[in-house]
Amino acid sequence: MLLTITTTHRPASDLGFLLHKNPGRVHDMPLAFGRAVLFYPEVSETSATFVLALDVDPVALVRGKGQGKSSGGLLDQYVNDRPYAASSFLSVAIAKTLRNALGGSSKERPDLAMLAIPLEARILPLPVRGSEGLVEKLFKPLGYDITIEPIPLDDKWPEWGPSPYVAMTLRATCRLRDLLAHLYVLIPVLDKQKHYFVERSELEKLLDKGEGWLAQHPSKELIANRYLRFKKSWTKEVLERLGEDGPVVTEDDVVEVAAPAEAAGDEPIVEMKKDAAEEALEKPIRLHELRLDTVAAVLKDKGARRVVDLGCGSGKLLKRLLSEKQFTEVLGVDVSSISLEMAERRLKFDRMSERQLKRIRIVQGALTYRDRRIEGYDGAALVEVIEHLEPDRLAALERVLFEAAKPGVVVITTPNSEYNAKFEGMKPGQMRHADHRFEWTRAEFEAWAKPVAERCGYTVAFSGIGEEDAALGAPSQMAVFEKTA
């Protein structure tokens, strides 16, 4: 997908200073979900054109994910319009690659950055999902001249229905920063489809990028509603805050900190919560409940106050942690947006008091990429998570968790494969869940955990969860790591 920006403001080559990108070069910038190539097909005294070509890699988005369930099945993860349609990915790419321009700063041409200049932006292909006239409704009030060219899906198959894709050209005399902010907010608004988990910091981003224009926009409710994916209480909050006098409170930090997560997983991947089959196997012994209670008790017992649940799934442990006053701050992290949405529902975010909202946060992220948001916690839990990682990704998890995040206590649980022999109907070598990449014996778990602890400055102790079999051990196993220095 392409975003093209042209100016005829002289000298037009100054566009390079405004965008902080040298017109003499091609800028190839890697993004977690693909790459952006930035270049200038024409630069002269009278006219300059800049192109951001975004190449979304659909395979990277689902890489390493198993055959778990998602609304459309695994195929849907590959066969969709993400690779070529300008969507929320383009907004992320604008924020990442044109950060200074979006913030309105220019080292060499600070005055020009504050100046309204003739600009033309063209986006192609742009998905528009909504009622007739949506583009005009959104961009006209902001002063743009608009040209829309439909892109047919395929004339030969009219039964495919009308195409949601258009090429859109906007023209206005405005500041570059305003043009970029309008695009940043309104591209995902046009495309109603959900591309990643919308966490609360999106609300701050909307207020931040909407500063100076959203409050006056006649369709601000529609914009907030679609941008926040129809979370009513958030839309209400945005409208209230837009209505307040004085400057909108912005939290640039939130945007900053969110970067690794965007990198890590912009895309709902595949849900890998404990599935029905695994629960059915383990149910007679209520193993999962016991496991969660045990982990919460260990964190409490070790005196942790600020805790993070890594691979929190649908939030069962988060719920337990929230019910304990000792835990002053609880963070849930998961790569799957479907799971995070389930967690939001389970915890009833929309009905939570201000005080509770301050204690809990859930964010999308992958545990194999360094993430500043998980650093500095007293305690971390990974309940039935490690066995979902490819064995060759464990080293990345070790670095992220034990070398970068370094919580005081880390509690990890994983199935004890020896015990599988006792589950009725399980064949030898079979695993409890289709997405498990491995299941370890007690000796294997220790052989992994002990060297990690030693290398990273932790002690580690092992125990079983569930009724112990004399020969095979307990159905689940737990390692508790404690930082020594």
Distances (CA, A) of 316 to 59, 147, 339: 30, 50, 11
SS (HEC) of 134-153: HHHHHHHHHCCEEEEEECCC
Least Å distance between CB 386 and ligand SAH? 9
Q: Give the residue at shortest CB distance from ligand SAH.
A: 313
Q: What sign results for the dihedral spanned by CA atoms 61, 65, 71, 76? A: positive
How do 379-383 and 329-334 pair as beta strands?
Answer: unpaired
Least Å distance between CB 16 and ligand SAH? 39
Q: What whole-number distance in Å separates Cα of residue 422 and Cα of residue 482?
A: 32
Residues 6+ apart with CB under 8 A from 24: none
Q: What whole-number distance in Å separates Cα of residue 476 and Cα of residue 464?
A: 6
Residue placing its CB nearer to ligand SAH in the complex, 188 or 464: 464
Residue placing its CB nearer to ligand SAH in the complex, 208 or 371: 371
Least Å distance between CB 270 and ligand SAH? 8
Residue placing its CB nearer to ligand SAH in the complex, 238 or 343: 343
Least Å distance between CB 34 and ligand SAH? 19
| First vs last C-alpha separation in the chain | 50
Residue placing its CB nearer to ligand SAH in the complex, 396 or 426: 396
Element housing 114 (H / E):
none
Residue placing its CB nearer to ligand SAH in the complex, 42 or 289: 289
DSSP state of 79: S
334 forms beta bridges with 364
Residue placing its CB nearer to ligand SAH in the complex, 215 or 404: 404
Tokens of 114: 């504050």
DSSP for 150-201 reads E--S-TT-GGG----EEEEEEEEEE-HHHHHHHHHHHHHHHS-S--S---TH
Least Å distance between CB 289 and ligand SAH? 10
Tokens of 407: 């919580």
Least Å distance between CB 384 and ligand SAH? 4
Least Å distance between CB 416 and ligand SAH? 15
Residues near ligand SAH, by CB under 6 A: 272-274, 311-313, 316, 334-336, 339, 366-368, 383-385, 388-389
Least Å distance between CB 333 and ligand SAH? 6
Angle between helices 232-243 and 201-209 (to 10 degrees): 40
Residue placing its CB nearer to ligand SAH in the complex, 85 or 386: 386
For 397-409, letters b (16+ CB in 10 Å) and e give: bbebbbeebbbbb
Residue placing its CB nearer to ligand SAH in the complex, 113 or 261: 261
Count other Cβ atoms within 10 Å, centred on residue 350. 11
Q: Is 454 exposed, middle or buried (0-12, 13-18, 19+ CB in 10 A)?
A: exposed
Least Å distance between CB 222 and ligand SAH? 32
What's at 410, amino acid-wise? V
Q: CA angle, 120 as apex, 221 and 50 as ends, to 5°? A: 115
Least Å distance between CB 292 and ligand SAH? 6
Residue placing its CB nearer to ligand SAH in the complex, 273 or 406: 273
Residue placing its CB nearer to ligand SAH in the complex, 62 or 119: 62
Least Å distance between CB 453 and ligand SAH? 21
Residue placing its CB nearer to ligand SAH in the complex, 375 or 454: 375
Report the Cα 224 to chain-centroid distance in Å: 19
Q: What whole-number distance in Å separates Cα of residue 216 and Cα of residue 210?
A: 10
